[in-house]
Amino acid sequence: MASMIRNLLLIAILLINLTGCKFHPSHKGYAYAEELLAKGELTEATEVANEVLGSYNLSPNEKAKLDSVLEMCSRIKKDFTLSDSDVLQKLVIYNPEINLDKLYLLEKGHKIDARVLDGEKKYFKNCVSNLFRLDSSYAGLKSKKEGIVVDSFAIFKLSNTAAVVQQTEKSGQPVNPVRMKLTYTIRVHADAVPAGDTIRCWMPYPRENNPRQRDIQLLKTDPAFHQVSPTSDLQRSVYLEKIAVANQPTLFRTEIEFTSFAQSFQFTPKMIRPYQKTSDFYKEFTAERSPQIIFNKKVKSLAKSILQNETNPLLQVRKIYQWINDSVTWASALEYSIMPDIPGFVMENRHGDCGMQTLLFMTLARSAGIPVKWQSGWMLHPGEVNLHDWCEVWYEGFGWVPLDQSFGLQNSPDPKVRNFYCTGIDAYRLIVNDDYGRPLSPAKKYFRSEPYDFQRGEVEWSGGNLYFDKWSWHMDVAYE
């Protein structure tokens, strides 16, 4: 329990830091509310936080502390929505013998995510679809009932990456350009904000000065007045404002064109130069970064068991990549804002989405002295448009080399194609972020819906942040 309280405290610290506040716990009401939150007593924690907010003359910092508790209570409830009867009802279609005892065994085996909230076991809203990915017997039951689904995306990736390898004459050469027009829309629900109030909206925008992303053109915004963040922003955005109208949704839209390139780096371990370990650059990209990149005992032990005294950076990266590929299954994730230790979650549960796998790779790699940085945005493959996270590894003599952990090793006899995503990336990407958890421009006043990544966007008004349940998003891609 002490560990849980400490982890939730780290989340509160992160959320407050991202809004420019400094965390100095002092108010007894806050401490009690946070204790209730850690115990999963969300309703009482909410009541206590609201009572303190309404009964005392608090400083901005104290209000921020209590707001962080309210945010966590609300967000946890939105991710854990299913009762045991709800889950059983969904599973009995595939397994008539399912019962509470078997459901508990699935939870104990890290096949289903659950928490006790307000004294009741509640299950992650996507736990059933995840089960079909995480448990081979349930995957078989699903295939038996619904038929085997051909993985057309895997086929597309194989063909596309083989073409990239064939077109690459020089290691890391940008090839296979794809020109794309993106129309991105955020739709704030009607009456989510009182009529007459200003809605502030940050939408994803392409990073510049990257050899894989060129000729960026902002064609149109709605509203017309906009503010593109500086190129120095590591999380790139375009900022828009609109006045809320009663009984009407509020729409924000951008139209952007750009050309994206693929890269395939082919080099041998002997070609890599030694790192300049005394440089500020090396220290920055091999450092811990609380709360998500921490070199604790579990991380160090796992890295040691994976690397087996290997010292060459390329071979170390391949070993870590292989281990995650073989040991961790892709699964739909909880919202990152309610996960205080994402790499720890992946190590314990052996599943996670693209960003979770990437954070685990980064943590293991940095703990071994390999410079690595976050990169994310969108995957824009035909029929597979979605949020996506990956990273880049620094090799002396070659620079930043892209690595997509969750795309994994491919089913190909050609090692260049099989290992493509360990030292390469395809052209169907939108790079928005070159780091995680960095400030937006202009500064956001309230807690971010996503404190680490920035892909869907962020929305707020004078009364606070608008969480993801208050608005929707959609990306249209036209290939030219």
Instruction: State the DSSP string of 370-437.
Output: --EEEEEEEEEETTEEEEEEEEEEEETTTEEEEE-TTT---S-SSHHHHTGGGSEE-S-EEEEESSSS
Mean predicted confidence (pLDDT) in 153-157: 97
In this predicted model, what pLDDT tens digit does every residue of 167-181 receive, in sequence order? 999 999 999 999 999
pLDDT for 18: 41
- Tell me which residue of 448, 465, 10, 471 sits closest to 235, measured CA to CA: 448
Cβ proximity of 49 and 42 under 8 Å: no
Angle in degrees, 0-180, between the axes of helices 136-146 and 127-134, rounded to the nearest 10: 100
Residue 25 confidence (pLDDT) above 80: no
Q: What percent of the chain has pLDDT over 90?
A: 88
What is d(CA 235, CA 452) in angstroms, rounded to the nearest whole number?
10
Query: Which domains are present in the chain?
Result: 2-80 (no CATH), 83-146 (no CATH), 164-480 (3.10.620.30)
| DSSP result, 226-246 | -EEPPTT-SB-EEEEEEE--T
Instruction: Give the pLDDT mean for 54-83.
Output: 89
Query: How many whole angstroms separate alpha carbon 431 and alpha carbon 390?
Result: 10
pTM of the entire predicted model? 0.92
Nearest residue to 254 (alpha-carbon basis) of 179, 180, 186, 178: 186
394 or 26: whose pLDDT is higher?
Answer: 394
Residue 273 has pLDDT above 50, yes or no: yes
Contacts of 429 (CB under 8 A, 6+ apart): 212, 213, 260, 377, 378, 379, 380, 388
Q: Are strands 329-330 and 120-124 parallel, antiparallel or unpaired?
A: unpaired
CA distance to 236, 445, 468, per residue, from 436 (Å)? 11, 18, 19
Instruction: Check residue 457 and give left, alpha or beta (phi > 0: left; psi -120 to 50: alpha).
Output: left
Residue type at 162? Answer: A
Instruction: Please report which confidence band the pLDDT of residue 327 belongs to, taking 50, 70 and 90 as the band edges.
Output: very high
Dump strand ranges (E) for 135-174: none
User: Angle of helix 28-38 relative to helix 2-18, nearest 10 degrees?
Assistant: 120
Instruction: Quick: pLDDT tens for 423-461.
Output: 999 999 999 999 999 999 999 999 899 999 999 999 999
Q: What is the mean pLDDT of residues 42-63?
A: 87
pLDDT, tens digit, for every residue of 228-237? 999 999 999 9
* pLDDT recorded at residue 467: 96
Span 70-110, pLDDT tens digits = 999 999 999 999 999 999 999 999 999 999 999 999 999 99
